[in-house]
Chains A and B, each alone.
Chain A
Amino acid sequence: MTMSPAVITRVSFSRRLKDRVVLGLVWLAFAVAVVPLISVLWLVIKNGIARFDLEFLTHSMRNIGARDAGGGAYHAILGTLEQVGLAALISVPVGLLTAIYLVEYGQNRQLARSISFFVDVMTGIPSVVAGLFVLAFWVLVLGLGYSGFAGALALSILMMPTVVRSAEEMLRLVPNDLREASYALGVPKWKTITKIVFPTAFTGIITGVMLAIARVAGETAPLLLTVFSTDSINEDPFNGPQMGLPLYVFDQAQRPNVTAVDRAWTGALTLILIVMLLNLVARLIAWWRSPAKGR
């Protein structure tokens, strides 16, 4: 077969046209994704900034009348921090250990495959079902009553699969070379995992945990069913109804006067700020632990 010699030509018009069209489409898709995000942020900041003051951050809704201005979300902020904190305390260790089992020890065993399957199933559980489960089991059957901890249990059910999946992915990204290098030094497997594999995946795992926290921090439905709701400060997450920021927003937004609606917006703003702050902290931890820092 003879081949005609290659000729160097200019980029044809049709290829340049296609390039432009596809580039335009990519920008359009970008805009479609970003416009709602910006508009939500804009709306929440615009409407929430009015009541974002010291009183809002330090006072509860106790003894605030239906039409009164003032009042705040201190009880809700406290409740959210405690509930999400407890949920993280339950689901992060369990999730990480599950991920380590799946990646390092599972090796396609029956147990590992079924765990993997049920983690997938858990990912699909609607949040209200998690709330209903805790309501039925913890609050009603065991009779332990509404509490922040019951809410944390419901949230941890929602958090766990996210933690498992993201940690699993990060652990799988650790090159096998590193495990072998460690074994070849005569390091036992558990030490290889805790001292070599885990630190290598640490940055990614932190990011995954933060995403999981951000996801559950905004959950309303499971909290409605488990922590109930209150206008007063309840510092004890193990006893009696608490408040949470999503609940607070839900509660205030349905009250028929402007002062309450303003508080709802500010509550939403506070929630966004808390999640953003957590993300920032996670970035800082990741940066601080990053090996590239010293380069």
Chain B
Amino acid sequence: MAKQIEVSDLDAYYGSHKAIEGITMTIEPRSVTAFIGPSGCGKSTFLRTLNRMHEVIPGAHVDGKILLEDQDLYGPDIDPVSVRRTVGMVFQRPNPFPTMSIFDNVAAGLRLNGRISKSEAEGIVETSLKDANLWNEVKDRLNKPGAGLSGGQQQRLCIARAIAVSPAVLLMDEPCSALDPISTLAIEDLIAKLKNDYTIVIVTHNMQQAARVSDRTAFFNLAGQGQPGKLVEMDETSKIFTNPTQKATEDYITGRFG
């Protein structure tokens, strides 16, 4: 189920502005890869190129190659909708569908992508909510609105919604930045559990979090204001946080940046 991602020489643009430049990396399956770096360095932009969400923004486009197990995501006849079905995403702010109940939120991806039977939906909703460590908290109120949950629960609901369509890769764009420490811990435990089945990529501003949850870490940086962001280095998380090769990485993780 989990798949490897190979990125080679990727540039991403907003209109004529180049946001990231020359990114080449390999993201291993069944592991957690963390992206760290200062604000505006293009980590989120890069993350969004991995499931072709980048091009949803008017004027945005991408140059380069991303292989998901030998399949070029930016190939000429690839349907971006099918890419997003394979590469799921969890956003910074929890965004459950306000018109839907908890159950319908989790089932949304399946239902909107085609007819499925009620019993089938019930089974998938239950396993997804269990995988997202939310089942025990919501099993008695599945038909209540998803927006009525707390922020941390909403975020786990969004994770359940994302894994319900069984993607090969799960992208997380600062999934804990709007949450309190307890909810953050719940999500981090969840990430540790999910990596057995998925390829997980997480963008985070919290370096302790990157150190706690990830197996490999990529450090992004930009040369200056208005310059495109670049990948500085990528390695085992333990190596990045104890003995990075680049001076910039060391400055950033020790807080001596700038």
Contacts and interface: CB of A to CB of B under 8 A. Distances in A.
Interface of A: 107-108, 175, 177-188, 191-192, 195-196, 199-200, 202, 289, 291-292, 294-295
A192 B81 CA distance: 11
Contacts of A187: 81, 108-109, 112-113
B132 to A, nearest CB: 15
Contacts of A180: 53, 56, 91, 95
Interface of B: 51, 53, 56, 58, 81-86, 88-89, 91, 93, 95-101, 108-109, 112-113, 143-145, 147-148, 158, 161-162, 165
A184 B145 contact: no
Interface of B is mostly: mixed
Sorted nearest first, the 5 A-B pairs with minimum C-beta distance are: A186-B85, A185-B109, A184-B89, A177-B95, A186-B84
A186 B91 contact: no
B145 A177 contact: no
Nearest to A186: B85
10 contacts: A107-B58, A178-B97, A181-B91, A181-B95, A181-B96, A187-B81, A187-B109, A195-B112, A200-B97, A294-B145
Contacts of A295: 144-145, 148
Contacts of A196: 97, 99, 112
B93 A177 contact: yes
Given A294-B145, A295-B144, A183 B56 contact: yes
Contacts of A179: 56
Nearest to B141: A294
A249 to B, nearest CB: 41
Nearest to A109: B58
A229 B69 CA distance: 74
Contact of A294 (B81, B109, B143): B143
Contacts of A200: 97-99
A186 B113 CA distance: 7
Q: Which of B98, B100, B147 has the most CB of A within 10 A?
A: B98
Given A179-B56, A183-B84, A294-B145, 13 more contacts: A177-B95, A178-B97, A178-B98, A181-B96, A182-B97, A183-B53, A184-B88, A185-B112, A187-B81, A187-B112, A191-B112, A196-B97, A202-B99
A95 B144 CA distance: 33
A270 to B, nearest CB: 36
B85 A185 contact: yes
A185 B82 contact: no
B84 A185 contact: yes
B72 to A, nearest CB: 18
A178 B95 contact: yes
A81 B56 CA distance: 44
B95 A291 contact: no
A236 B145 CA distance: 46
A181 B164 CA distance: 13
A291 B100 contact: yes
Nearest to B158: A181
A108 B15 CA distance: 14
A161 to B, nearest CB: 26
B81 A291 contact: no
Contacts of B89: 184
